[in-house]
Amino acid sequence: MRLVTFVHEGETRVGAETGRGIVDFRTAAPSLPATMVELLVAGPQAMKTAHAVVARALDDGVGFLSNGDVTLLAPLPRPGKILGIGLNYREHAGETGREAPQTPIVFSKAVTAVIGPGAAIHLPAVSSMIDYEGEMAVVIGARARSVSRGNAMSRVAGYTVMNDVTARDYQQHSGNCMGKSFDTFAPMGPAIVTLDEISDPQSVALRTVLSGEEVQHGDTRNMIFDVPTLIEFLSAALTLEPGDVITTGTPAGVGMRRNPPRFLKAGDTVRVEVAGVGVLENPVVGG
């Protein structure tokens, strides 16, 4: 199932994206929660109902909203937390001149930075070193505290696509949180793809295309710390809650490490593709 948050006729709603259009849970299953976080909090029974609603719509062939009639937002317009993992691909660690980390490098990213597919990344006047980082992100679906690696996947609702946009100069002089938390620096979407759609999160190809040029091409099998390890590590220190997002790191090819460096400029389009999860595309504008 591909869970989405969207605007239709001026109202924000939750539903599922299918090949025939979008199933609007508000009309198809009014008993379901009205927001994505509430849907995740409601747990397995709510997800079972959502699956049944989508299956019924596909069987009946009716009740779909056209994609052209809705505006997709980030599936989680305001996550509880965004936790980023730095240097989680050996090739990316290598291009920065650093050794592969022995334990996960964790940073937070402000939830106010989130935007959806098609929304513009705004270049701030205070920085000219704005970089892209295409990533697969994990969406937490159940409370996790001190969870073992073996039980970690039971806390995952699904996966989405993220672009961990970064102001490199601010990252250098003020740290990851500031450098990665400017408004519009967390494009996310278009959907949360549930676990039944992705058989193995550690065998997923991803790439970033900047204004028609492929600049990143990687595979999650090359992550240093896999998804269960990240959940075990994070939950040992803090409680992960439904609607939290873990963005799992970026492969090699970031703009700062290209020769010459390639930072985002007005008029660019950034496209992040994660196989089986989705395609996230955002224009870049000045100011």
Q: Report in angstroms the alpha-carbon separations of 181 from 80, 187, 190.
A: 15, 11, 20
Q: Is 126 in the same domain as 257? A: yes
pLDDT at 77: 98
Report the sign of the C-alpha dihedral through residues 224, 230, 234, 240, in that order.
positive
From 24, 41, 72, give the residue that closes a domain. 72
Local confidence band at 39 (pLDDT 50, 70, 90 cut-offs): very high
Q: Which domain holds residue 121?
A: 82-286
* For range 10-38, the mean pLDDT: 96
- Tell me how far apart the alpha carbons of residues 156 and 162 are, in angstroms, rounded to a whole number: 16
Residue 44 lies in a domain: yes
Residue-wise pLDDT for 116-173, tens only, equals: 999 999 999 999 999 999 999 999 999 999 999 999 999 999 999 999 999 999 999 9
Q: Is 66 in the same domain as 88? A: no
Residue 31 lies in a domain: yes
Residue-wise pLDDT for 212-269, tens only, equals: 999 999 999 999 999 999 999 999 999 999 999 999 999 999 999 999 999 999 999 9
Residue 279 tokens read as 């395609």
Q: Which CATH number belongs to the domain containing residue 103 in this structure?
A: 3.90.850.10
Query: 154-193 b/e with 16+ CB inside 10 Å = b?
Result: ebbbbbbbbbbbbbbebbeeeebeebbbbebbbbbbbbbb
Q: Is 104 in the same domain as 205? A: yes
Instruction: Please list the alpha-helical segments (H only) found in the chain.
Output: 25-28, 36-42, 44-60, 90-95, 168-174, 176-179, 227-235
Residue 209 lies in a domain: yes
Q: Is 24 in the same domain as 109? A: no
Q: Is 7 in the same domain as 105? A: no
Residue 277 lies in a domain: yes
Local confidence band at 54 (pLDDT 50, 70, 90 cut-offs): very high
* For range 37-48, the mean pLDDT: 97
Residue 77 lies in a domain: no
Nearest CA among 59, 55, 60, 65 for reference residue 23: 65
Q: How high does pLDDT run on average in the chain? A: 96
Q: Is 33 in the same domain as 136? A: no
Q: Is 54 in the same domain as 105? A: no
pLDDT at 98: 84
Q: Is 63 in the same domain as 132? A: no
Residue 213 lies in a domain: yes
Question: If DSSP states are collapsed to H, E and C, what string results for 133-190?
Answer: CEEEEEEECCCECCCCHHHHHHHEEEEEEEECCEEHHHHHHHCHHHHCCCCCCEEEEE
Q: Is 257 in the same domain as 167? A: yes
Is pLDDT of 93 > 90? no
Q: Is 67 in the same domain as 200? A: no
From 44, 72, 100, give the residue that closes a domain. 72
Q: Is 186 in the same domain as 210? A: yes
Domain count, the chain: 2
